[in-house]
Amino acid sequence: MSEETTAIFRPDSQPDLPHDRFLDRELSWLDFNQRVLELAEDRSIPLLERVNFLSIFASNLDEFFMVRVASLKRRVATGIAVQSAAGFSPQEVLVRISERTRELQARHSRLFRDEISPALERHGIHVTHFGKLNDAQKAALHNYFQLNVFPVLTPLAVDPAHPFPYISGLSLNLAVVLRNPQSGSEHFARVKVPPLLPRFVEVEGAERTYVPLEDVMGEFLSELFPGMDVVKHHAFRVTRNEDLEVDEDEGENLLVQLEKELLRRRFGPPVRLEVAEDIDPQVLELLSRELDVEAHDIYHLPEPLDLRSLNAIAFLKYPELHFEPHQITTNRYLQSEDDEAADIFGALRQREVLVHHPYESFATSVQAFLEQAAADPQVLAIKQTLYRTSGDSPIVDALIDAAEAGKQVLALVEIKARFDEQNNIGWARKLEAAGVHVVYGIVGLKTHCKLSLVIRQEGNQLRRYCHIGTGNYNPKTARYYEDLGLLTSRQSVGEDLTKLFNQLSGFSSAPEYQSLLVSPNGVRNGLTARVQREIEHKQAGRPAKIRLKMNSLVDEQIIDQLYLASMAGVEVEVLVRGMCALKPGVPGLSENIKVHSVLGRYLEHSRIFSFENGGDPDIYIGSADMMHRNLDRRVEALVKITQTDQIKELKELLDLGMSDKVSLWTLASSGSWHRQTTSPTGAPLIDMQDELMARTLTKKRSR
């Protein structure tokens, strides 16, 4: 069963705390996507970046329905209708999701139609309808249709001889009503909008003018149905349950079983039907009946549907309509005096290196570390986790090069990384074919930790070099995901990674670690112990403070620990990108807790766990969010930061994220988020990511 399906609210661990102390995680996620939408609404942001945020909002919502809404519907259907931590039944949550989604999607569509599209027009970028073109432009699109679209279209009729066709998830379709001019009888057909063709067709002879592909198709449908009259056509789109359910206790090979499950995913039940707002009632009745969709799962929207595809417009090359580029740099400790690539192993024998992506280059740090390891004849072995990676990945290439050079190479490939399963199966087979030892981790647990271990012969001894990160080994996403990583030759870290990789690839009981916290069990227990220690420091009059940066905070036991810390007078600061089920600022419960959220050009993805510890700061970075799945059903790793300058750097990063000088959102005890973009005097607040880029460049110059 999927990990999301089994995320059932655990019983109260603190019965003395108020029963209504949690926000609902699903509604909190919708609040996060609303923050993305607010970036699209922000007129101070460059226009094409606003278009990109519109696309991200739509893509986020698709995944939310495919996984979270699908999970709730499955619980209702199977009778696992357990009340959520916030006190709602799955049915109640679904109703609230439907209400909020309608509100947000309507706001999203209006923004594109009423503000973004006219703004694009003013800048000479025309996203328009076929009917607004002149005759020459229409003729050009007719020619495009005949040459590029018509040959790949497959009209599917519905009648006694042709059952209603399968509608694939997230595909855009036209529902077509036809009339036989001889008999007068009406018929229904479905035409799929080809997903491999450009969604927005550039009109030949009309510079920077784009028409939705379904609009072009609609104009020339009669050519698909010769001898029939096209009465009407409407766009529609289905979202299906696309979560996977893999039973790892079955004897069948996991790789083979997952491949079968990926085929099944295509036929998951519908969870949402999006239709054009002017759709004919009879056509809608047919669609809802054949797709078995209830009225509350139908969303009426102005066309064009599927605004994910706006990313094609967002990435048009108009520098003046994008963020001013940041100057990405090589970490100052990984660059030689002559600006050539440094000897990374030599650098790590001198000191540990904390890298901060994308401000500091992934290619000249983590990627270079693995490439140098693959090419170095003194390197004997490389062990690596891979959760998500990119097409033509240099990381995968480095592992293959190392294996072909005779090195011992182990790759732990998490093939169950959601929506990357097919890619990861491909990488696993490619690595296996090159002689890499590929394993899939521990039965029943996803391996989400981000680890590299390199063993190198140096004289008459072996030295271990390590990387522990907060982000995936993906050079493409490293350009826009904000992440941290520690490169080190610290002996205790090397010993810990050796134990952890041996556990992941072989058989062993849970080992003891010196510098790592490892889940399941270790991260939850380790962080809980540190929260309790802060309470003790506070009670003894010593410095005490807890600061956390993460993607999500929804685990009830961790939240309860933070409530107890607040009640003991410990100051707690949380910087969260996405979901947060904690209620800050509640008198007698959480008045010492503040929650902020920062969103921007980069996706905030790093995780930091900082404890003041009586004046001896205890700080970890790693892969875990505060969610049930990360703490109980995944292998996650946090590494302790020990160098004074790195502790200072991380504390300054947290200072910035909780500052009143930065543009951010603040969470109120009611669950509402409030955006702050200007100071009390009306001056614009600092963009945190711009400030971090400036600080990174300053650090390099001051080396």
Q: Which residues are catalytic?
A: 448
Is 534 strand, coil or helix?
helix
Q: How far, in Å, CA of 123 to CA of 185, rounded?
A: 48
Look up residue 493 and give its amino acid: V
Nearest to 300 by CA among 98, 102, 456: 102
Residue 129 tokens read as 């309808």
The answer to whether 573 and 658 are in contact (CB under 8 A) is yes
The alpha carbon dihedral of 283, 284, 285, 290 has a sign of positive
Q: How far, in Å, CA of 447 to CA of 32, rounded?
A: 26
Look up residue 93 and give its amino acid: V
The DSSP code sequence of 383-443 is EEEESS--TT-HHHHHHHHHHHTT-EEEEEE-TTSTT-HHHHHHHHHHHHHTT-EEE--ST
Q: How far, in Å, CA of 66 to CA of 533, rounded?
A: 41
Q: Which residues pair with 486 in a beta bridge?
A: 354, 468
List the alpha helices (DSSP H) in 277-420. Answer: 281-291, 311-314, 344-350, 368-375, 394-404
453: left (phi over 0), alpha (psi -120 to 50) or beta: beta
Nearest to 626 by CA among 573, 570, 548, 568: 548
Phi and psi at residue 329, in whole multiples of 5°? -130, 165
Q: How far, in Å, CA of 489 to CA of 333, rounded?
A: 14
Look up residue 234 and give its amino acid: H
For the chain, the C-alpha Rg in angstroms (whole number) is 27
Reported as type and span, the H/E element at residue 656 is helix 644-657
- Which residues, in sequence order, are CB contacts of 537 under 8 Å at separation 6+? 543, 544, 612, 613, 614
Residue 189 tokens read as 């057909």
Q: Which residues pair with 465 in a beta bridge?
A: 454
Structure letter (DSSP) for residue 576? E
Phi and psi at residue 594, in whole multiples of 5°? -120, 140
Q: How far, in Å, CA of 240 to CA of 579, rounded?
A: 23
